[in-house]
Amino acid sequence: MTSATSPLLLPAILERYSTRSYTPQNVSKEQIERIFNAAHLAASTMNEQPWRFIVAARDLDPEGHTRIGSTLVPGNAWALAAPVLGISVAGKNFARNGKPNPYHKHDTGAAMALAALQAVAEGLNLHQMGGFDAAKAAEVLEIPEGYEPVAAFALGYSDAPEPPVRQRKAMPEVLFGGKFGVAL
Ligand X SMILES: Cc1cc2nc3c(=O)[nH]c(=O)nc-3n(C[C@H](O)[C@H](O)[C@H](O)COP(=O)(O)O)c2cc1C
Q: Build a one-symbol-per-residue string for 97-136: x at contacts with ligand X by CB under 6 A, - elsewhere.
A: -------------------------------xxxx-----
When CB distances to ligand X are compared, the closest residue is: 131
* 151 forms part of the interface with ligand X (CB under 6 A): yes
Q: In this complex, which beta carbon is closest to ligand X, that of residue 17 or of residue 94? A: 17
Least separation in angstroms between residue 39's CB and ligand X is 14
On the 0-12 / 13-18 / 19+ scale of CB atoms within 10 A, 27 is buried
* 12 forms part of the interface with ligand X (CB under 6 A): no
Least separation in angstroms between residue 168's CB and ligand X is 8
Alpha helices for the chain (secondary structure H): 11-15, 29-40, 62-69, 104-121, 134-140
Q: How far apart are the first and last CA of the chain?
A: 16
Instruction: Tell me the C-alpha distance between 142 and 171, whole Å.
Output: 42
Q: In this complex, which beta carbon is closest to ligand X, that of residue 62 or of residue 163? A: 163
Beta strands in the chain (DSSP E): 51-57, 84-91, 125-129, 147-156
* 158 forms part of the interface with ligand X (CB under 6 A): no
Beta bridge partners of 128: 153
Residues that bind ligand X (CB under 6 A): 17-18, 76, 128-131, 151, 166
